[in-house]
Structures are given as C-alpha cells and as structure tokens.
Amino acid sequence: MPELSRAYNIEDLRCLAQRSLPRSVFDFFDGGAEDEATLRANREAFQRVRLMPKVLVDVANVDTKLELFGRVANYPVAISPVGAAGFGRPDADIAIARAAAKFGIPFTLSTAANASIERVAREAGGRLWFQLYPLKDHDFAAKLVERARQAEYEALLVTVDLPVGGKRERDFRNQFTLPFRYTGRNVLDFASRPAWALRLLRHGVPRMENLEGFVPQSEDTATIALWVGKNLDASFDWNRLKALRDTWPRKLLVKGVVRADDAERIAQLGCDGVVVSNHGGRQLDGAIATLDALPAIARAVGSKLTVLIDSGVRRGGDALKACALGAQAVMIGRATLYGASAAGESGALRALEILADELERSMRLCGTRAIAEIGPHLLAGN
C-alpha cells in the first residue's frame, strides 16, 4: 500500500483507516461515550506534560528494552485488547498479534476478538495475554480461562470497568446496533467503501470465535454480541477477583483502574499488575484522564505491582512521559487497529515502527540512554 510509506504518525494511519472503512465501522472504533469528553481528555493530558531534556549526554546508542513480568520486552509497549477488530479487516487480530511478535512486545487478545485463543497462539505466537470480560455465565468464563492456560498464554488480564456498556452515541446516529439490522442508511454506508464490502463478502461476517457456544446453537455474530452485552456480570466484585487470583497460575493483571485505593487493594490480593485505564473513553464520560490518574497509583503501588497505562497513547513520546510519571509501560489499542484496518499486518507494523522511532528519538532528545533512566527529573515542574 503506497500510502503507508507516507504515514508519518498515528494520525496519518487514522486517516487511512477512515478512508478505508464505512463511517459506521470507523466511528465504532474511533468514538467514545456520550460527549466524548474523556476521549479528548486522554489526549489532552499527554499534551499538557512538558519535558525538561538533559543535554551533553552521549546518546549515540539508546536501549529501549526492559523487563516486563520477568521477560524482556523490546519496548515499553504492549497491545491492548480490542474487540471486533475483524470488522476493520479480516484477521486483524492475527495481523496485530504477528506485528507485536515481530517487535518483541506482548499482545492481548480480547474476549470479543474475531480470532480464537488457540488460533492466535498457533498462527501468531509471541508473548500472548488474554483479556477476560466477567460474564454472568461463570462456567463459560472459567472455560475461557482454562483455554488460555492450555494455550500457554503468559498472563490473564481481567477488565473490571465494564459492568454495563457505555452510551456511544456515534453508533446510535449511524444505526450501528447489535443485533445488526440492515437499513437504507447503513447499506449506503457500506456501499461507499467497495473494497471493504468486497472483503466482507469474500470472507463473510467476522465470527466471535472465543464466544461460540456461549449462546446455545448459535454461531451468529450479532446474536452472540447481543448476549454478551446482556450477560456482562455487574456483580463481579473483590471476592470474585480473589477467586480468579487463586485459580489462575500465571501473571494476573487488572485493567480499568483509576483510583489509588483500588490499586492498593488489588496489590493486597496478590495480583501482578494494574492497567490504569478508562477504556479509551468508551465507558464513563467525564472520568479522569488516565495520565492524570497515573501518578497517585504509581506512588501507592509502584513497588508492589507492575503499573501500565492505556487510553490516549498516540506518540512514542507519550510512552516516555508515562514512564516518567511512574508507569513501566504503555498499552496501545487504536494505534495498531487503525494500521491493521488500513493495510493488515503491514499497517500494524507501520504503527509500531512509528511509535518505536518516536520513542527512540524522544529518548535521545531528552538525554536518556535507557528506559531505566527515565524519571520525574525529565518533567517540567519536578
């Protein structure tokens, strides 16, 4: 795809995805809840942070590697779980996972992915984490966890900020609903992107492979998605999290935390990591930006847990800022999703190339030779 060579930042990839996808699909990926105030605040928080670079440091060579959960990652980056990525491009989950493996960073597979736990392990490899949505059907959720264990996923990431789905008004306006209904508006929308429509016809509507069997005698994606929405477990609490910690034998991360007191309690349960996240602004509008929430959480549990952050990361320099504020790494979702939607695996790779280049460049310009040297001394006002 010639346009990829002219994609110089993640916003360029976002624009390529926007041109490639029907409006309803793009808005489903790109949008946030209600007024999208939190969606905007996530970016604004990163943009407010000002750096105080050191000079006269030999930065001919910089080392972006770090230890993340006992293994070396090539960058302080991991891929966040993204549901329904296959609606952007067939096998987008596999494409993003392969790109992550090539870059030596972890990939997190969503419960609502269009590729199964087993297929991603078989076809992509690399460092794999599995994200679990708490479901009312405890037996089915336990089967998902066991499948991840059998497939040698190194970590389980449980999302705790989704007792109910957010009110995403772009989807309402685009008549993008589940169960899916064809309307004159969305048929015209799909027809406006013939290459996307032809791929859909050729490959069929993406299946939610991990959730087949969740609805008895149904493999229909729309029906499964509707049932998942109705069967999110709003009763999931500290006792259930403790039970999960007691049964999962590997690394356990908790995603969707913005309060230091919650993070402290997660540490007390013996979890291994916490992801400071507001679900990319897709859940509670008006929630605190994750970068604003990060310092208090890092102070409270940084010596006890591995602290990661997602929501709003669009630049390699954002990873440097997050590390300076106490995170060990950032997680990205939309960045590689935009790339994969535009151009498959090569687009996801391009997203990671951009972020890696920006991170290395920012480290050099800040007089920082290794991830371990990044700290609050690089921030204005500290």
CA distance 336 to 79: 8
For 202-214, give the secondary structure using H, E and C: HHCCCCCHHHCCC
| Helix locations, 112-235, DSSP H | 117-123, 138-150, 169-173, 184-191, 194-203, 221-230
- Report the distance separating Cα 382 and Cα 368, nearest Å: 17
Sequence-distant (≥ 6) Cβ neighbours of residue 126 within 8 angstroms? 97, 98, 100, 101, 102, 104, 106, 107
Other Cβ atoms closer than 10 A to 247: 13
CA distances from 142 to 58, 75, 129, 269 (A): 51, 32, 16, 19
CB 290 within 8 A of CB 309: yes
Eight-class DSSP state of 125 = -
Tokens for 186, please give them.
């969305």
Around 115, how many Cα atoms within 13 Å sit in the side-chain half-sphere? 24
Burial class (CB in 10 A: 0-12, 13-18, 19+), 175: middle
Q: In the annotation, is 279 catalytic?
A: yes
Task: Please report, for residues 77, 90, 139, the alpha-carbon distance to residue 310 in angstroms, rounded to integers and kept in the order given.
Answer: 10, 25, 29
Instruction: Indicate the burial class of 346 (C-beta count within 10 angstroms; 0-12, 13-18, 19 or more).
Output: middle
- 276 three-state secondary structure: strand
Cα-based distances in Å from 322 to 77, 277, 290, 361, 382: 11, 13, 10, 16, 14
Q: Beta strands 71-73 and 66-68: pairing type?
A: antiparallel
DSSP conformation class of 135: B
- Residues with a catalytic annotation lie at 279
